[in-house]
A and B are shown apart, each in its own frame.
Chain A
Amino acid sequence: MKRKSQVGSPHPLFYLMLVLSCIIVLVPVLWMISTSVKNETELFLSPPLLWPEKPTLAAFISVFNDYPFADYFKNSLVVVIFATSISIGFSTLAGYGLSRFKFRGRASFLTFLLLSQMFPSVMLIIPYFKIMRTAGLLDSNPGLIVTYISFTIPFCTWMMYGYFKSIPKDLDEAAALDGAGHVRTFFSVVLPLTLPGIVATSVYAFITAWNEYLFALILTNSEDQKTIPIGIGQLIGQYKIEWNELMAASIYSTIPLMVLFLFLQRYLISSLTAGAVKS
């Protein structure tokens, strides 16, 4: 990322515009934080207070008491972690197979992977509703896990395929001549080199699944099976909206993504670089 491609110093206006952009980004975020630490009286003041006079973390505690937020959180974690792990496992294998071997249907499979990104999820939702009901997986974590695997696998496979392609085939060949079989080559030689790719792909899968709303909305029903997005989303349907609790819940649901991004941003951005430049 050290490489810079624009000659000359930046235009003075750049700073102004960047600062303005950051304000536009930050205002909603700060408003969310400010709201979450208000008490109920300060919440409904008009004109609103930019920052509460008596900040309180009460909302952060009451979401757990007033709503089954712990259940939502648990469900989200279970569903997302299982779906991500299975997706990554399968798509890593598939990416290696696609990048290293020729077989019938390989090209069609790759095309289908790309095309499947174009399918509207609304098209899948009615079949999924019916299939999950028939399979008895409606309103259950496994039902959501299966669903999330279905839409993370295509893009994870595509990303992993890209990573494997970027690793020279010479290494596989060297390993073969050194006496390694296919499985050994995969695990000892190639897989360790794709770790950054696996990390980045996992984060994408994690974010996608963590944010998913529509399928969870239709495939879950009882409170103890809902995920965070559904839990938060339905707070708004109530007669009196407790915005401080809502914003506290929003912060809870965003924190895992922020943490992931903070620790892994190097991998994520370089993986985007790879993808963007290649395609």
Chain B
Amino acid sequence: MNKSRKSLVAAARSRVGLTFVTPALLVMLLLVVYPLLYGLYVSMFKTNLLNRWDFVGLTYYAQSLSDPGFLKSLFTTSLYAILVVAGHMIVGTGLAVMLVSDIKYRVVFRALLILPWLFPDVVVALIFRWIFDPIFGLFNFGLSAVGLISEPVAWLDNPFWAFVAVVLATIWKGYPLIMLMVLAGLQSIPRDRYEAAALDGAGRLLQFRYVSLPGLVAVLGVAVVIDFVWWFKHFTIVWLLTKGGPIDATNVVSIDIYRTAFQSFNFGLASAMAVIVFFICLLFAIVYQLMVASDET
């Protein structure tokens, strides 16, 4: 009877718990799990999503993995994401380290430096497009004013500079989040640890190296993974700045998939490409999980 008593009480509690979770669980099943599986399904059909459903198996996977265009877009995306994340980490950490010191007007600096995070992606893309405008743009005006260029440069029409511009705009938009995370991480490091290091004779740099960095490793690690995955899937800023051009220079994988699906109407191929991207992100998700898990133990 003892056994049954125990399981009875536990079962009652577990029922209550499930009741609280049920609405969210249903939404997740219906709106996330089902569409994911459906996407997997579509990727194996040549279809217009209406009346034509020809089963093609894994053909589209083979096709996309042997398509130089798709592989190039994966490469472009990786490069874009790596540069963006590196930029976020350097700018975000640097600013956080400065903001955490006993600096005057800290609140003002922080409020201003958070600003870019509050601009919608669309707005960020448009502002930069306007700034980089060859004739009426601020950027060329500034450069010619200091004599760096004599003729207007169409930055966004040059494959190399367009890519640089996209990366810069994305760094501008995304660093505040990293800055805030690192700031929080720094503030969680007890001050006496710095005092101990200072008494041991460590200067500012050594304090950063031996006190701040070890305290930040966990925060930075998680931030890198989240940020990478986030920008790897990104669409809006790139799309509105360059539409993926010129000549595929900024053709990130999200744009590639969008085009394949909604401009070429090859939904099956697009789905297969999306699934491949999903697995790349999943790989990072697993890395992230392992990091979180090792962090908790």
Contact = CB atoms under 8 A, between A and B. Distances in A.
A195 interface: no
Interface residues of B, number: 112
A118 B232 CA distance: 10
B170 interface: no
Contacts of A89: 23
Contacts of A28: 127-128, 131, 172
A150 B32 contact: yes
Contacts of A265: 111
B126 A7 contact: no
A11 B204 contact: yes
Interface string B23-54: 11101100110111011001000000100000
Given A46-B135, A122-B235, A213-B236, A253 B17 contact: no
A17 B278 contact: no
Contacts of B285: 114-115, 117-118
B277 A120 contact: yes
A133 B288 contact: no
A250 B126 contact: yes
A234 B275 CA distance: 29
Contacts of B239: 213
B112 A236 contact: no
Contacts, number: 323
B25 A214 contact: no
Nearest to A35: B130
Nearest to B182: A276
B17 A102 contact: yes
B14 A101 contact: yes
A232 B182 CA distance: 33
A245 B64 CA distance: 41
A4 interface: yes
Q: Is the interface of A mostly helix, strand, loop or mixed?
A: helix
A34 B288 CA distance: 43
A126 B274 contact: yes
Contact of A127 (B27, B42, B128, B292): B42
B66 interface: no
Q: Is the interface of B mostly helix, strand, loop or mixed?
A: helix
A6 B194 contact: yes
Interface string A109-140: 10111111111111111111111010000000
Contact of B28 (A25, A96, A154): A154
A22 B112 contact: yes
A48 B137 contact: yes
A211 B113 contact: no
Interface in A167-187: 182, 186
B190 A118 contact: no
A123 B233 CA distance: 10
Interface string A96-113: 111011111010010111
A232 B184 contact: no
B281 interface: yes
B39 A276 contact: no
A26 interface: yes
Give the one of B24, B137, B187, B197 with max A CB within 10 A: B24
B23 A126 contact: no
Nearest to A44: B136
B257 interface: yes
A94 B218 CA distance: 27
Nearest to B254: A122
B79 interface: no
B116 interface: yes
Give the one of B100, B119, B282 with max A CB within 10 A: B119
B118 A254 contact: yes
A218 B127 contact: no
A150 to B, nearest CB: 4
Interface in B219-276: 219, 222, 226, 229, 232-233, 235-236, 239-240, 253-254, 257-258, 261-262, 267, 270-271, 274-275
Given A31-B131, A90-B24, A97-B20, A124 B35 contact: yes
Contacts of A1: 187
A98 B10 CA distance: 15
A32 interface: yes
Contact of A211 (B19, B122, B126, B187): B122
B63 interface: no
Contacts of B14: 101-104
3 tightest A-B CB contacts, nearest first: A101-B17, A97-B20, A150-B31
8 contacts: A6-B100, A18-B98, A102-B13, A118-B281, A123-B36, A124-B39, A250-B119, A257-B119
